[in-house]
Amino acid sequence: PYPVLRKGILDASFHSKEQTLEFALENKTYQASFFVIDGAWAKGNKQLNGVLLVVMDVSLVRLLDKQKREFFANASHELKSPLTSIIGFMEMWEQGIIKTEEQADIVGKTLQEAKRMNALVSEMLLLSNLETLKETNNKENIALDAIIQNIVESLSPQMKAKNIKVH
């Protein structure tokens, strides 16, 4: 039922391959890191090997990454339009193309475009500040024992063949 976890445990157990994988469960994204534990630490018992599994909910991080990518994909276009207008208005003014009676209208349009750019830059700064915030330590209880039991049962033939026991 959890093929990603099963694969990670198999790779770590039988191939000594440490890795990090992602999987979805109940509309959340989790990151599972598998670490091989060498039995040498247990009084030199090299037969006592294991796998440390660390699971983290990375749903919010992935959502923020997606939103950031979408935002910056549009940001360059959104900044270019008002900049082009401001530059055009200022060049026309510099070259004397704008008549005195049109100056108030052009100044108003230039100010409006500058405010648009300012709002976009403010949003970019806010996004940057949100990105630098440290993740809060939100803890949530999950039924990890049921997941682990299911994986252990599905791996029991391989474990029995290699005389591996889970405690």
pTM of the model: 0.50
- The Cβ of residue 16 has, within 10 Å, a number of other Cβ atoms equal to 11
Q: Looking at residue 59, what is its pLDDT?
A: 93
Distance between CA atoms of residues 98 and 39, nearest Å = 82
* In the predicted structure, residue 166 carries a pLDDT above the cut 70: yes
Distance between CA atoms of residues 131 and 43, nearest Å = 45
Predicted confidence (pLDDT) per residue in 43-85, tens digit? 555 565 678 888 899 998 899 888 888 888 888 778 888 888 8
The answer to whether the beta carbons of residues 68 and 94 sit under 8 Å apart is: no
DSSP category for residue 136:
P
Nearest to 6 by CA among 156, 161, 166: 156
Whole-number average pLDDT of the chain: 81
Predicted confidence (pLDDT) per residue in 32-53, tens digit? 998 887 666 555 555 656 788 8
